[in-house]
A and B are shown apart, each in its own frame.
Chain A
């Protein structure tokens, strides 16, 4: 049986083999991301619950672990209401437009040393392009709903995302100056060799700018003026119900996981192990800690997801003009200054630029 399967696999043309393997990889990554999203909602409610001295979900399944699935089923069987004066086509397509870029960006994320769906040279640019496309879902949802609250939410979110994208792009210029490549795998390889080689150390201001801009890009607290429950009900998705709302929810959390993964890759060495330089571990049972693997990336993603929830439970919402001030007047100057500092460091051949030829 096994031999038959193997021989029929070999008989397939290489294009078909390549397509099959890629499809399989895509399914693995997509299902993985969606499951991560499902459990991060549970994680969020538990974390915030414990920070507010509550229990959090504990009724469905052991420890409440079935809660995400209960929520999904609830949303699936709810009625979808399409407002009668809305633009029907754009109203339906808007949640898809916000979900697709969030999932498509995973194509270039290296999960470990060898697993990446598309190992392209311009990976960093691809990620930037796709995260900037995600704003269409929000704007179109707000406009197509034909409601004042939704429209206000869309306008706020558009201005905010455009402002913070510039700071994000500048922060990534710093990363590619340090790594010397746009390929995400190469960026991780440039940081191999323990914590001291991570870009976190030399690019610390850029790390802060990138991470905070990432929180703002995903419209999460304390930058969630686009939703602003107390002012504009729920912002751009105020008229969405059932599965259409679930797609927005999914897109927001998929974007959070994506930003966490990207921050881990750009500044914390992705799948590289923090203990790589610890040669005294060799021969001990702990030697496996030195190898880079998917689990390091997963641990870093979990840490950043926790930080998202931590921020949400800690800070009050920013006022709109303060968000704009932070983006334009603080983050962009900080990134520009640090890019100049990096230029000087590269000229002096210190840090990640020590190996640079003259």
Chain B
């Protein structure tokens, strides 16, 4: 138990440092790498409360896909570091207000609601053979199947919308038709003409 507490505080500490790094690093690529580290740390925290499905999916979706695209975009941008630095002080009051509101909400959710529900700090381990993935799957596809399907449709809609917004038809574009190229036969390209040799006069 003590071992797990030590692990929790070690990972939570690194998580906080990484989150601060996201805000304070000048270079956006460094900020993104800090965010990746923060995702890994929170995945480990989830792992500590035996939520292995959520932990691995966090790494798979956010680190493996979303952050790669972030990195992709940020590396292409030629960010002016001076303007970024000025922005930090300019938006500081607004950021402080938002942070205060979020802290108040978190206190409300975790502390006050936790007292109502009689939650304690200690985590009770699941019995041997408990399968987090199976438990989630069996609830997701039975009780919450409609919400799940609606979420899927919303995502599909977002994909279609993003594609239609960015796709533009350019006239005169040369496109390969690979199937046609593969299906081509020699007789389509060359015509062999048989003719008698002309007589020499």
B65 and A165 contacting across the interface, CB-CB below 8 Å: yes
- The proximity string for A residues 160-177 relative to B, scoring 1 for CB distances below 8 Å and 0 otherwise, is 011001000000000000
B59 and A133 contacting across the interface, CB-CB below 8 Å: yes
Given contacts A121-B52, A122-B53, A325-B178, contact A143 B63 (CB under 8 A): no
Q: Which of B68-76, B102-110, B190-198 lies on the face that meets chain A?
A: B68-76
Q: Which residues of B contact A87 (CB under 8 A)?
A: 27, 29
Q: List the B residue with the shortest CB-CB distance to A330.
A: B178
Does residue B5 face the partner (Cβ distance < 8 Å to A)?
Answer: no
Complex-state Cα separation, A120 to B133, whole angstroms: 11
Smallest CB separation, B30 vs chain A (Å): 8
Interface size bracket, B side = 20 to 34
Given contacts A121-B132, A121-B133, A162-B65, contact A129 B56 (CB under 8 A): yes
Does residue B138 face the partner (Cβ distance < 8 Å to A)?
Answer: no
Smallest CB separation, B152 vs chain A (Å): 13
A143 and B29 contacting across the interface, CB-CB below 8 Å: yes
Does residue B57 face the partner (Cβ distance < 8 Å to A)?
Answer: yes
B68 and A162 contacting across the interface, CB-CB below 8 Å: yes
Looking at A122, A143, A161, the one whose CB has the most chain B CB atoms below 10 A away is A122
Complex-state Cα separation, A158 to B63, whole angstroms: 13
Chain A interface, number of residues (Cβ within 8 angstroms): 29
Q: Is the interface of B mostly helix, strand, loop or mixed?
A: helix
Q: Which residues of A contact B30 (CB under 8 A)?
A: 90
B52 and A132 contacting across the interface, CB-CB below 8 Å: no
Given contacts A122-B53, A132-B63, A139-B75, contact A158 B133 (CB under 8 A): no
Residues 129-146 of A at the B interface (beta carbon under 8 Å): 129-130, 132-133, 135-136, 139-140, 143
A139 and B71 contacting across the interface, CB-CB below 8 Å: yes
Complex-state Cα separation, A162 to B65, whole angstroms: 7
Q: List the A residue with the shortest CB-CB distance to B131.
A: A121
Q: Which residues of B contact A159 (CB under 8 A)?
A: 72
B60 and A125 contacting across the interface, CB-CB below 8 Å: yes
A158 and B72 contacting across the interface, CB-CB below 8 Å: yes
19 A-B pairs (CB sep. < 8 Å)? A87-B29, A90-B29, A121-B131, A121-B132, A121-B134, A125-B133, A128-B60, A129-B56, A129-B59, A132-B63, A135-B64, A135-B68, A136-B68, A139-B75, A143-B29, A158-B68, A162-B65, A165-B64, A182-B133
Known: A128-B60, A162-B69. 14 other contacts (CB 8 A): A15-B3, A90-B30, A121-B132, A122-B52, A125-B57, A126-B56, A129-B64, A130-B59, A136-B71, A139-B72, A139-B75, A154-B75, A165-B65, A182-B133
